[in-house]
Amino acid sequence: MKQINITTTFSVFDNKEELPEDVKNLMEQAIEIRKKAYAPYSRFRVGAAIFLDNGKIVLGSNQESAAYPSGLCAERVAIFQAGAIYPDAKILKIAISATSDERPVTSPIPPCGACRQSISEYEFKQDYPIEIYFMGETGVVYKSDSLKNLLPFMFDKNFL
């Protein structure tokens, strides 16, 4: 038997004020759009802001449904919208922020597994890494230089 050791590296910012100005603006848009989340069941609100290479910013918030799991996470709402409206644009950066109606969220909230897979599809398609910044309501912000840090064994079309 052999073992594989996988190491990932993240940058950690003490708060959103430490982010580069363009990323701070992107995160502020993610924070603002999370207020528009439709989350009557989980009461957990997530906002995502995507910066494209054409200079456009695409936003998304989670949208729940009583017919669970028919809803969509903020990241997939934004990434699918970007893919539909700007199919040839590269996704350069994604900012994600989450909050709860029940308690303060001070830990960074990464994309769920389904969102990671969806983001990986676009990163693979564009053959260019996507920077991912994520935070809770307040507190530290994590930066991943690529989706591969969050999903080192990505499933893509090469397996089909």
Q: How far apart are CA 44 and CA 67, in angstroms?
A: 17
More confident residue, 108 or 156: 108
Output the known binding site for Zn(2+): 73, 112, 115
Domain count across the chain:
1
Q: Any idea how long the chain is?
A: 160
Domain for residue 5, yes or no? no
Q: How far apart are CA 83 and CA 23, in angstroms?
A: 21
> Could you list the residue range(s) of the whole structural domain that residue 53 is in?
11-159
The fraction of the chain above a pLDDT of 90, given in percent, is: 89
Alpha-carbon distances of 22 from 19, 68, 82, rounded to whole Å = 8, 36, 19
pLDDT in tens, 132-160: 999 999 999 999 999 989 988 888 888 88
Q: Is 69 a residue whose pLDDT tops 90?
A: no
pLDDT classification of 127: cutoffs 50, 70, 90:
very high
Q: In the prediction, which pLDDT does 156 show?
A: 81
Active site residues: 75
pLDDT classification of 33: cutoffs 50, 70, 90:
very high
CB neighbours (10 Å) of residue 112? 13
Domain for residue 15, yes or no? yes
- Helix axis angle for 74-85 and 21-34, nearest 10°, is 110
Output the known binding site: 62-68, 73, 112, 115
Output the known binding site for substrate: 62-68
Closest C-alpha to 10, from 119, 122, 110: 110
Domain for residue 52, yes or no? yes
Domain for residue 6, yes or no? no
* Whether pTM exceeds 0.85: yes
Domain for residue 31, yes or no? yes
Q: How far apart are CA 160 and CA 154, in angstroms?
A: 13
Query: CATH number of the domain that 155 lies in?
Result: 3.40.140.10
Q: In the prediction, which pLDDT does 51 show?
A: 98
Q: In the prediction, which pLDDT does 158 show?
A: 81
